[in-house]
Structure 1
Amino acid sequence: MKPTDDSKEESMGVVGEWNCDGSDLCAELAGSHSTEFSRTYEGYPRSRVLLETPNLALIVDISPLVEGHLLIVPKKHYFNFASAILDFPHEASKVTNFARDWIRETYGLVALFEHGSSSNESGGACIVHAHVHVLPVAATELVAVMRRDELGLDTASDAASWTRVAGASRPYLLCSDGERTFVAFPQVRLRRQYLRSAAAEALGIPSPHWDWSLVIRKDLLRNTVRRYRSHHRTGDHI
């Protein structure tokens, strides 16, 4: 696995091949400088990508709820991460575990969550390109919000349960602490960024300040990139 280094000019196509849907995120990951990220951060940093594998990238959320808020994104366009896992299960497990462990070791706790979209519905996701949030917040508190909202959670023993929802062909919500996984198939249309707002509630962030389209936390992104790169250099492997 190859971490990116902001001290060098690197194309995001160096590892693997980008095959995406033409969205802003896809353009950013392909190396374009005409993106929301480039316009917002104006070259500081030049990239929010922390590392790549042939099929995945680990990046910092464009407006982190808290320092250490990361996203795992596939390079090919998928509506949900469950479908991506079916195509490269070992690689997906390796990257997910690496992100989970780094956040937990660095910040003390971790939660992973995803709005899994389908071809017909977004499932509350802000974008329909698959992306998994990994951040330092108590997963139990997110699950408590989901239970309060009566989402009907199924429980599994590990994150491999992602693959069990891949064939459902309907949106899902997934939350995990890296060991236990909770999945819901909402029966009603949810507000956009539902799980992001639930994480914000757990972190004490008032509405609507969790909405990345309204509030950009530049210092948190820059601090996350700085902290990560202080421990990981080009040439490291996982």
Structure 2
Amino acid sequence: MSENELIDDCLFCKIIRGEIGSYTVFENDDVKAFLDISQVNEGHVLMVPKKHIVNFFDYTAEDAQRFLQYIPEIANAIKKSNPRIQAMNITSNNGPVAGQVVMHSHIHFIPRWEGDGIKFFTRNNADQYDEAKYQAVADAIKAQF
């Protein structure tokens, strides 16, 4: 990727350019993967495209093919690095309301093992839906393709 696909005031663009240090675990012309400074669990890695893209809402089909193909390779390398790792959360927060803090697309690889104490919360709202409401939501989404 060329320098003109990065921006000046982005933390991850600065890491990609080497202006800010990182503990890099994988890098090629398309992506850079490095330890997340927070280390939710040991081995927590971020993968960022070497093109400034704010989040998945801004990806083209070409961007997705180019950058997301590395997810399995990075996930497997992390898993193999520590025999304690039994599973992994692979997540991305898209937009501030969803918890995105750095406005440069990135994927979290968070290793998991039994008893690690991490809780990811979801909720089940199935009791608030009937056949008509499910169909209306599905139809609204389908209409956007």
Match of 1:108 among 82, 86, 109: 86
Structure 1 unmatched runs, 5+: 1-15, 39-46, 151-163, 169-238
Tell me the distance in 2 between the aligned counterparts of 1:65 and 1:25.
19
Q: Superposition pairs for residues 1-238 of structure 1, below 5 Å?
A: 16-18=1-3, 19-22=5-8, 23-32=10-19, 35=20, 38=21, 47-81=22-56, 83-84=58-59, 86-106=61-81, 107-117=85-95, 121=96, 123-137=98-112, 142=120, 145-147=121-123
Return closer, same or farther for 1:103/1:81 CA change in 2, 3 Å cut-off.
Answer: farther
3-state SS of 1:129 partner:
coil
Partner AA of 1:58 in structure 2: A
CA RMSD between the two structures:
3.0
Partner AA of 1:124 in structure 2: G
Tell me the distance in 1 between the aligned counterparts of 2:48 and 2:90.
13
Return closer, same or farther for 1:89/1:24 CA change in 2, 3 Å cut-off.
Answer: closer
Return closer, same or farther for 1:66/1:85 CA change in 2, 3 Å cut-off.
Answer: farther
Tell me the distance in 2 between the aligned counterparts of 1:122 and 1:53.
31
Report deviation, 1:27.
Answer: 1.2
Tell me the distance in 1 between the aligned counterparts of 2:42 and 2:60.
27
Tell me the distance in 2 between the aligned counterparts of 1:88 and 1:24.
20
The structure having more radius of gyration, on CA atoms, is 2
8 Å contact from structure 2 (residues 6, 51) kept in 1:
yes
8 Å contact from structure 2 (residues 11, 102) kept in 1:
no
TM (norm. structure 2) is 0.66
| Cα deviation digits, residues 33-68 of structure 1 (max 9, x gap) | xx4xx4xxxxxxxx4122223221111102211111
Give percent identity, aligned residues only. 21
3-state SS of 2:87 partner:
coil
TM (norm. structure 1) is 0.43
Structure 2 unmatched runs, 5+: 114-118, 126-140
Tell me the distance in 1 between the aligned counterparts of 2:7 and 2:72.
27
Partner AA of 1:103 in structure 2: I
Return closer, same or farther for 1:112/1:77 CA change in 2, 3 Å cut-off.
Answer: same
Tell me the distance in 1 between the aligned counterparts of 2:106 and 2:73.
16
| Cα deviation digits, residues 157-197 of structure 1 (max 9, x gap) | xxxxxxx9xx89xxxxxxxxxxxxxxxxxxxxxxxxxxxxx
Flag as ranges the 4+ runs of structure 1 deviating above 4 A.
Answer: none
| Cα deviation digits, residues 120-145 of structure 1 (max 9, x gap) | x553211111111001127xx53xx1
